[in-house]
Amino acid sequence: MTFIHCPVLSSEVVEHLAVENPEVYVDLTSGAGGHAGLIIDRYPEVKAFLIDRDIESVEHLRDKFKSNVNVKVIKSNASDIDKILFLNKVVKADMILADLGVSSHQLDTPERGFSVRHKGLFDMRMDRENDFTALDFLRKVNETELKNILSRYAQERESGRVAAALKKAVLEGAETTLEFAETIRGAKRFFPKGIDAATQVFMAIRMAVNNEVGELEKLLEKSFALLSEKGRLGIITFHSTEDRIVKKFFRERKEGLPY
């Protein structure tokens, strides 16, 4: 298995997470280990906990860092950070990072079912040990709930039309990414130039299938509580819903509101 991935904001991550003589670094969404590698190279003595819920990422990380005794790779949800550190007898962390969203490896692997361009079963599970796929989600969710999810996560102005079209496609036996992508394109009348009409809808369904908002809210609360006195928490977002949640969280802490 080959992971080719260039971490986003690499220099910014290293710069803004930097603390003097860090003892513990936690990467909550380690992926291909791009950010982790940069941090570990800068701080060779740091004890690093690399977490991901994707078993393919975990296997890659274990191989990549197998010679480093200071690195521990763990398959788990990011929201389990408190349990992970407790079990490893770690009280506080000096640097915590979460790079949200889907990885390029997941998008480029057709059978993972994330892409609007590659044919595969409509899967979208970040944790493939979870039985609930995107296809299961579309079969189970009612049209009104689906409409609300598309409005919230994709800011989809035609959420009603798209939700109705997707439910109809499921009833008619659609099962693949390309079938659902084409259904969405056919239902939409308005979409930004230069962006596939199905992209935002796919993203919203992925977020729902993987409970990404729920995970984000939990990891923020738990990570903040686990920071050392000098600790820093960094979150990279790619979506307005996540961005609002993160900014609101940090703003409230900065203003000294109860937490």
**pLDDT per residue as tens, the chain (259 positions):** 556 556 778 899 999 999 999 999 999 999 999 999 999 999 999 999 999 999 999 999 999 999 999 999 999 999 999 999 999 999 999 999 999 988 888 999 999 999 999 999 999 999 999 999 999 999 999 999 999 999 999 999 999 999 999 999 999 999 999 999 999 999 999 887 889 999 999 999 999 999 999 999 999 999 999 999 999 999 999 889 999 999 999 999 887 655 4
Task: Sheet with 47-52: list strands edge to edge.
Answer: 71-75, 47-52, 24-27, 93-99, 227-236
Single pTM value for the model: 0.92
Instruction: Say if residue 62 is exposed, middle or buried (CB neighbours under 10 Å; 0-12, 13-18, 19+).
Output: middle
Tell me the C-alpha to C-alpha distance, in Å, between residue 162 and each of 153, 168, 186.
14, 10, 9
Q: Residue written as tokens 């990467």?
A: 27
